Structure 1
């Protein structure tokens, strides 16, 4: 017996779950370049998130579209949550010890 029948709730197809959705609004992240001081709006594809074993090894990075600088900034728990929820590609760093 399926879970939905047991719970009394009707089964929902993917098509019906997304019925009425006409478009997805892309997520935009605000950031600043420490080199040229540009205020930026970046798509999820422009950012990378690296999650390490500690707060010192967890960071996000991007290339400044204004000056071309490689930017790396620390990412606390809230930033990690926002970036992963917004579709930013994530790399999990593993300890070699």
Structure 2
């Protein structure tokens, strides 16, 4: 299995060559659905560890780092969990399709 960082040239040479040719979509066709993005999270109440789909998380972008956070409901104990979201977390969550609420104007 090739890693995501493998170059196209490496994938198209050797005994296990993989085609990089893509068939164009016809009118009305949609591209195949991508696998859902999952995020690892933990509950601060019950200490449970689990994976959540993007739809189970909410990202709130505040005017400062103190008011920027993500939240979810713990699937194990039902607690409402709120955690701070730094720049890298914001980048990952928005890139993974997590719904975002902006509390301030950029």
TM-score by length of 1: 0.75
| Aligned match of 1:63 | 73
Aligned to 2:84: 74
Moved beyond 2 Å, runs of 4+: none
Cα deviation code 1:14-70 (max 9, x no counterpart): 837xx9x54411100000001001001000000000000100000000000110000
TM-score by length of 2: 0.69
Partner of 2:44: 34
Q: How many residues align?
A: 79
Match of 1:85 in 2: 95
Note the aligned Cα RMSD (angstroms): 1.9
Question: Structure 2 CA distance, aligned partners of 1:53 and 1:15?
Answer: 42
Q: Which runs of 5+ in 2 are unaligned?
A: 1-23
State the match for 2:19 in structure 1.
none
Deviations along 1:45-96, one digit per CA (max 9) or x if unpaired, are: 000000001000000000001100000000000000000000000000027x
Which has a greater percent of helix?
Answer: 1
